[in-house]
Amino acid sequence: MSSDVNQVHFADGMTDDLITDLSKIAGLFVIARNSTFAYQGKPVRIAQVAEDLGVRYVLEGSIQRAGDQVRVNAQLIDALTGGHVWADRFNGKVTDIFTIQDEFVGKIVDALKVKLTTQEKQEIARAKPDSIAAKEAFDEGWNLILRFNAQDNAAALGPLKRAVELDPEYGRAYAALALVLLRAYDYSWSNEIGMSWAETAAPRADYLNMAKKYPTSLAHTVESGVLLYEGRGAEARIEAGQAIALEPNDPEAHIAMAWALTIGGKPKEALSFISAAMRLNPNYPSHYVLARGIALFAAGDLKQAAEVLDQGFRRNPQAAMLLPPLASVLALLGQRQEAMQKFQIWRPGLSQSASENIADSYTFPFQWEPEYARVRERLRDGLHIAGLPLEVSVSTLMTDLKSDDPFRRLITVKRLGWFGPAAAPAVPALVAALPDEIVRQEAVKSLGKIGPEAKAAVPALRAIENESLIGPFAKDALTGIGGN
């Protein structure tokens, strides 16, 4: 309520602190900042807010700051009755604001008859920085991070660095700095921060090491993300679990756990964590949709994966991250016209040759654990198909297998593998191609990708599984077919 627009960060910061502190309490269900801030500064009906967000109680208030003085009003309302469960106000010095926040949290949980555990009390108290100036710098940087774009992500570095300079023990600020650098890598935003992908690794590790000295849910969530890119699912699950333990209502921690489960071959379990995250943050960002779409794909539900990704893109046409997996899944479903349309929205004006090869340079989210790497490879195959001319089909490829050009035969065999089970009619031709040294390895790989539909190839593959060079590929193919 201040006339000074610069105090918006201060007001947002206090709101964010209350949400974060309340989110640490296992006995409460607390909606995330993204969804609650949608009502900021708008005339709203409490009952409608509660219905929209699926909650019974709504905390609302106002804050006004002038110099070193601050006035805070807060009230907790039961949306069922419209009555006040608790209300309080504070007039005093800005330097006392952290104490007031702790008092408010304590009074809110008392009003709701929820008991804080000793650990919850300790975590709430430990989260506060020593310096109000450091907190203001953090709030400025955090607001920029939450805008979720390359320019604001880069702009967050300055205030966050200022926060840790003002308070060298500010764990959440160190974790936020690591998050900025992780996103620069994750979303190819490194140019905006003036660093290459490789150059982000060392400072990110340094910030995370500092963050771990003063652990927060955010620190564990960022660490989980780093481990996901290395395909270290078991360790990522541990970090995500620690994040959830520290802040049970943190939706990002639930998303981190979902990804860790997906790359570890447990996509159905991942879906329950994604549902929890979406429940905690109804106005969820598009990367939740990506996590859900990929989990459904990994669980073998391609149709539902396509629907989720398509709806997510319609909901946010700026979410280009959803287009490559959507194009891939549609192509694997045989909906190639639709897949090509999504591909062209993602990469407009790309030449045909570039379209056919872009999958080789595109990186799908995270690394799968080695035994589940086939899921990631299947996504890549779908993107390959999406980039092919529509006239290229299994039938035309089977004709191309008879070509006298060895390079053409090699490309043809590889392309048949992209089509997976749909290439089952080509199994006899691929088996017949096994003696051809030029295409032999790719023929074996393609048979494995066709899967159980390639049962007829099992005797031929078993005959070569002990050969030194081709043997390991034959064993992999037999695993894919189910012949072992």
**307 & 362 share domain:** yes
Q: What is the mean pLDDT of residues 401-425?
A: 95
Mean pLDDT of the chain: 92
- pLDDT level of residue 467 (50, 70, 90 thresholds): very high
Span 146-166, pLDDT tens digits: 888 899 999 999 999 999 999
**10 & 113 share domain:** yes
Q: Percent of the chain scored above 70 by pLDDT?
A: 98
Structure tokens at 461: 């593959």
| Strand 69-78 relative to strand 84-93, pairing | antiparallel
423-428 long-range contacts (CB < 8 A, ≥24 apart) are 423/394, 423/397, 423/449, 423/450, 424/450, 424/453, 424/454, 425/394, 425/395, 425/398, 426/394, 426/397, 426/398, 426/401, 426/450, 427/453, 427/454, 427/456, 427/457, 428/456
Flag the least confident range among 127-136, 158-167, 179-188, 395-404: 127-136
State which of 340, 362, 390 marks the end of a domain. Answer: 390
Question: CA distances (Å), 106 to each of 111, 125, 425, in order?
Answer: 9, 11, 68
**327 & 428 share domain:** no
Q: Give the DSSP letter of residue 242.
A: H
pLDDT surpasses 90 at 481: yes
In this prediction, residue 483 carries a pLDDT of: 61
In this prediction, residue 5 carries a pLDDT of: 65
Is residue 16 in a domain? yes
Please report the beta strands in 19-156, taking only residues with DSSP state E, as ranges in sequence order: 57-66, 69-78, 84-93
Rounded CA Rg of the chain? 27
How far does CA 256 lie from the centroid of its chain? 7
CA end-to-end distance (rounded Å), the chain:
70
* CATH code for position 96: 3.40.50.11830
* 481 sits in which H/E element: helix 471-481
Structure tokens at 363: 């990186």
pLDDT surpasses 70 at 484: no
Instruction: Name residue 69's amino acid.
Output: Q
CA distance 459 to 445: 15
pLDDT surpasses 90 at 9: no
* 245 sits in which H/E element: helix 233-246
**311 & 403 share domain:** no
In this prediction, residue 121 carries a pLDDT of: 82
Is residue 231 in a domain? no
- 8 A C-beta contact, residue 293 and residue 312: yes
Residues whose CB is less than 8 angstroms from the CB of residue 429 and which lie 6 or more positions away in sequence, other chains included: 398, 401
- pLDDT level of residue 6 (50, 70, 90 thresholds): low
Strand order in the sheet with 57-66: 57-66, 69-78, 84-93
Return the SS3 of 450.
helix
Is residue 247 in a domain? no
**374 & 403 share domain:** no
- Host domain of residue 448: 395-481
- 8 A C-beta contact, residue 255 and residue 291: yes
pLDDT surpasses 70 at 28: yes
- 8 A C-beta contact, residue 72 and residue 44: no
Span 38-87, pLDDT tens digits: 888 788 899 999 999 999 999 998 888 888 888 999 999 999 899 999 99
Q: Give the DSSP letter of residue 467.
A: S
**380 & 307 share domain:** yes
State which of 335, 357, 390 marks the end of a domain. Answer: 390
Instruction: Give the total residue count for the chain.
Output: 484
Exposed/middle/buried for residue 418 (C-beta within 10 Å: 0-12, 13-18, 19+): buried
Is residue 405 in a domain? yes
In this prediction, residue 65 carries a pLDDT of: 84
CA distance 454 to 75: 66
**399 & 384 share domain:** no
- 8 A C-beta contact, residue 280 and residue 248: no
With CA atoms as reference, report the closest residue to 129 among 92, 98, 94, 90.
Answer: 98
* CATH code for position 425: 1.25.10.10
In this prediction, residue 2 carries a pLDDT of: 63
Render 397-430 in DSSP notation, one character per residue. HHHHTT-S-HHHHHHHHHHHHHTGGGGGGGHHHH
pLDDT surpasses 90 at 119: no
In this prediction, residue 241 carries a pLDDT of: 97
Four-CA torsion 288, 223, 182, 233, nearest 10 degrees: -60
pLDDT surpasses 90 at 181: yes
Alpha-carbon dihedral sign for residues 124, 129, 135, 139: negative
Is residue 200 in a domain? no
Question: CA distances (Å), 71 to each of 67, 88, 292, in order?
Answer: 11, 11, 43
**23 & 112 share domain:** yes
**Residue 60, by phi and psi: left (phi above 0), alpha (psi -120 to 50) or beta?**
beta
pLDDT surpasses 80 at 327: yes
With CA atoms as reference, report the closest residue to 387 among 360, 410, 408.
Answer: 360
**370 & 405 share domain:** no
**12 & 107 share domain:** yes
pLDDT surpasses 70 at 1: no
Give strand pairing partners of 92: 70
- Give the count of beta carbons closer than 10 Å to the beta carbon of residue 389: 12
CA distance 277 to 35: 12
With CA atoms as reference, report the closest residue to 321 among 189, 177, 152, 143.
Answer: 189
Is residue 81 in a domain? yes
- pLDDT level of residue 431 (50, 70, 90 thresholds): very high
- 8 A C-beta contact, residue 40 and residue 19: no
Is residue 244 in a domain? no
Span 238-281, pLDDT tens digits: 999 999 999 999 999 999 999 999 999 999 999 999 999 999 99
**322 & 401 share domain:** no
Q: How many domains does the chain have?
A: 3
- 8 A C-beta contact, residue 84 and residue 76: yes
**359 & 447 share domain:** no
- pLDDT level of residue 3 (50, 70, 90 thresholds): low
* CATH code for position 335: 1.25.40.10
In this prediction, residue 390 carries a pLDDT of: 95
State which of 87, 118, 149 marks the end of a domain. Answer: 118
Is residue 420 in a domain? yes
- pLDDT level of residue 233 (50, 70, 90 thresholds): very high
- Give the count of beta carbons closer than 10 Å to the beta carbon of residue 394: 14
- Give the count of beta carbons closer than 10 Å to the beta carbon of residue 427: 20
